[in-house]
Amino acid sequence: MKKRIFVTATNTNIGKTYTTKLLLKEFASRGLLVGVIKPIETGVVDDFAPDGTELLECVKQLNHKLWSMEVDDIVPITYELAAAPFVASNNTPLDLKKIKHMIEDMEASCDVVIIEGAGGLYVPIDEKTMMIDLITQLNAVALLVTHCSLGCINDTLLSQKALSDKNISHAVAFNCRDNYENFKIISEPYFLKTNQTVLKVDEDIVKICDVLYNL
């Protein structure tokens, strides 16, 4: 059984791509063949998918079996408008079969596939589908990437509840960037006091991978 890990976040611009690359590198360092998919990317102008290109360059260095892949093999669905897929696509129904087929093809050359979402959990994809629904539909476990700024307690708890309500196995990682000192004062005490494990993307990627692989 191949491992599928869906990287989501409390909002856009939280650090999903950055975290995904760290996960790929750590799993590869363990001798595992890694793959990556970003099912939907918006803001793709002149056929240039920024996130997809970055992920492709990373994974090709880590898995020799993927050396011939192109961006289209990483990002199956793209839209030009930088907006929620529902808006960017004018409510085009999600082509779930296309995404599933691409993941299954990649799994022929991989032990672990990292699936990077777009935006947060309740970004609408079409009239019937939110980003959170993709996690279940793709039979993946989730990594929730959250920020460390003021407000992260509320944002993290809301997203955790959404995942728990749908019975999605998940871990949480804090991407502190340059906010670590403030986080220790204004937010981390709550998580520690309520017996929640605080894993930081930059410091604890080994532990994060351990947790995800065993979910």
- Catalytic amino acids? 38
Q: Is 86:127 a contact under the CB 8 Å cutoff?
A: yes
Measure CA of the first residue to CA of the last residue in the chain; give whole Å: 13
Helices (H) and strands (E) in the chain, counts: 9, 7
Residue 4 Rama label (left phi>0; alpha psi -120 to 50; beta): beta
Q: Is 186:179 a contact under the CB 8 Å cutoff?
A: no
